[in-house]
Amino acid sequence: MKHIARKRFGQHFLSDGGIIDAIVDAIAPQPSDSMVEIGPGLAALTQPLVERLGHLHVIELDRDLAQRLRSHSQLTVIESDVLRVDFSQIPVKAGKLRVVGNLPYNISTPILFHLLDYVHIVQDQHFMLQKEVIDRMVALPDSADFSRLSVMLQWRYAMDNVLFVPPESFDPPPRVDSAVVRMVPLAQPPAIDVRLFSEMVQVAFSQRRKLLRHTLGHWLETKGFSGTFDLQRRAQEVPVQAYVDLVQQIQPLA
Residue 14 annotated as lining a ligand binding site: yes
The phi, psi pair for 230, rounded to 5°, reads -70, 105
Q: What confidence tens digit (pLDDT) does each residue in 123-145 have? A: 999 999 999 999 999 999 999 99
Q: Where are the domains of the chain?
A: 7-185, 194-250
Which fold would CATH assign to domain 194-250?
Helicase, Ruva Protein; domain 3 (1.10.8)
Residue 211 annotated as lining a ligand binding site: no
CB within 8 A of 130, min separation 6: which ones?
105, 108, 174, 176, 177, 178, 179
Averaged pLDDT of the chain: 93
Q: In whole angstroms, give the CA distance from residue 128 to residue 166.
A: 11
Q: In whole angstroms, give the CA distance from residue 38 to residue 126.
A: 10
Q: What confidence tens digit (pLDDT) does each residue in 172-217 have? A: 888 899 999 999 999 999 999 999 999 999 999 999 999 999 999 9
Which CATH superfamily does the domain covering 7-185 fall into?
Answer: Vaccinia Virus protein VP39 (3.40.50.150)
Q: In whole angstroms, give the CA distance from residue 3 to residue 94.
A: 36
Residue 177 annotated as lining a ligand binding site: no
Whole-number percent of the chain with pLDDT over 70: 95
CB within 8 A of 168, min separation 6: which ones?
16
pLDDT score, position 2? 47
